Structure 1
Amino acid sequence: MIIKSKRIYMEDGLKDGFLAIEEGKIKEFLTRTSEDDVIDYGNMRIIPGIFDTHNHGTCGYGLMDNGTKETVAGYLKGCASQGVTGVFPTAGLSMISAVADAAAENIKGAQILGIHSEGPWLNRTGEKGIKTGWPEVSMETARQMVCDGKGLLKLVALAPEIPGIDPVIEYFLSEGITLALAHSDSNYEDAKRAYKKGFSVSTHTGNVMTGMHHRDVGGLGAALLNEDVMSEVICDGMHICPEMLKIFFRIKKPEHFMMISDCTPFSGAPRGSYKGFEREMTIHVSEGGFVLTDTGRLMGSSQPVLYGVSVLTEKLGMPMESVWPMFSLNPCRMYGFDKNKGSIRAGKDADFIVITDHYQAAATFVSGRKVYDMEEGPVFNPDFLKEWGREEMPHE
């Protein structure tokens, strides 16, 4: 297969030409070819596939609980429709086993490269000071998570200040699992100690952590000042305002960031009000893309990483050459996939997306296989609106 575009963002620069793909790999880049059978994408940009390491759901498919293999398949197709070629599904405890089983199958969609568990031991706090507590710390639960993951549990996010959590931390590290500091009320010194203890990722940096103050720069300062920490970042312009993103990238080089979506099943849902995850909870999807509870607390995002790419390039004026490593090469390096993935280069897997000028995925390829084409039409779960109910919100 030969793919043509005038704008191909390869590891060594922007190029106009042809990608020759053979047995799922990029065989070579060509400036010309005599082959007649060429897929020509004209002036549409071809960029490396997105590796989203923090994604709870999308397009009406969720991974929190009660899901099936079909749920995971729909989720992976939804991810592919948003330009995701590799993913760490962020699974609820009861879904870890199902996600691991799905990873062994050749599902047409994004490729499962590992599993992420955000919690269950989190110290929820935030701008409104809301705390929800945490479940009892249990080694049995930690061991069950690893067992259910069948070798694929790669990332676990915890609040390091929770009493009694140290044996769990030591256990996960002994299993080779990356630990992320998440949903924490720790101050700067507390967070710094956690990173020395073995935490190496800051979860959705800036969100649900103590902010920067001139007398204590908090969990946020600890993440930004430590170059040994890889910082997840949501770039939708809502979770972190564009001006703060500028500050992030001035304090810490972009190679230390990984763009994530933190999407939920409400990603791609029509604007409106829906039943929440808990009894008597209502979730609102606003026109601007916020997913909010009745209390005004953010509940993940409805915008994919590709939308965040548009914020960085169009609103902040960052060149695509500086942006694409944050959603592809950086996470691949962090989790050990960069030998075969993370950039468009001869010898690597043919994982890439073709995008429109409006930052929509026109086509998504995983190991040379087209797993999504926008001409297929919507991939949103048709049962989602029936199950969750919806009432139109008044126009703002």
Structure 2
Amino acid sequence: MRSQFLIGSRAPSIEMLTWICGKPVFALQRGTIYIVALFSTICPHCPKTIADLGQLHEKYGDTGVVAFGVAAMERAATADEAGARVDTWLNKELPNPTISIAFEHTGEMNKLWWVASGSYGVPTIFIVDRDNSIAYIGYPDTEDPALLERVLTKVMDGSWDNSAEAKKAHEKWLQGALVRRANVALSIKDFKTALSTIEELNEAIPDNPQFREAHIKVLLEMMHDFEAGWIVLAGLARDAIEKNDGDWLLAAMQQLFGSPYDYSCLPSAERFSMGKVLSERILTLCPQQDGISRAISYGAVARYFYESGEINRAVDSIEHALELVEGESLPDGEKQNYLAPLVQALAEYKGSEIPREFAEDPQNRS
């Protein structure tokens, strides 16, 4: 079942809050729109967010909109201790807040709202619609400071739920929450959870080849499930061929020939058959690309040529890629990062030594 991370769900309770200033909101009432900002007293960006919400509250407060902030991460032995900490922070950062401020020190608000929503930063902003459902979750957007007000006005006039912007915002939030969950699972080698999360991510956002690659990586490299991994990998290759899109084609080629998998455990004939079609499609698209993209494309097909026994074509492809990179006006460090894997591949294909300046991982060079 797909996670929604509270989006579209009934808003959790707020009855556990202790109000420190402003008019208390003891419960979320139907017919009112709420903007709820979870913040922390150690967050450098939170004072501005609270101040900005105050402006929205003043502008729309007479139309049934209520904004309030909650310090939901103030772990303390007692409510008095947590309250004193928040009060000190307010006196320093926001001595005259124009929205109500509450705190909760047991972690219950944090669990019901922040954790359940898949949040991973503060301030986190929730908009609760008139039906008490969570219509929006997000972080302040410095590149689009008008976003929150735009969402709010659409929630107010009832146009938000079915809008393209809502779909985009929900997908963005869902992607961030699922990627975060998968990364946490991978960091503790909980591959089962990582796998199910990545599968959910691909179901929710099927048009991103990077998520398909992550699925394959977990199956083949971490779980060594070659049967399931091949099914997903072959599916990626078929979809890439059908879409005939450069990013998809390169992703499939990378998974078929450029990754640290035990390819001996995969069906060889099918793998090379797919590689042939992919390489043809990639080379056909090359003339439409810029220099660096063409270099990446030539580098990708070179590995297929090399493993197919077409050594001369592999060498020619790498040499062409090197010429393209050398012809680009790039900062030295960036150019070296493109050149290093190509030089290393050329040495491998020719059976020669790697030049010393390219022998180490470019990411480790000073």
Question: How high is the TM-score relative to the length of structure 2?
Answer: 0.25
Q: Max radius of gyration: which structure? A: 2
Q: Which has the higher helix share?
A: 2
Q: Which has the higher strand share?
A: 1
Higher relative CO (Cα under 8 Å, sequence separation at least 6) belongs to 1
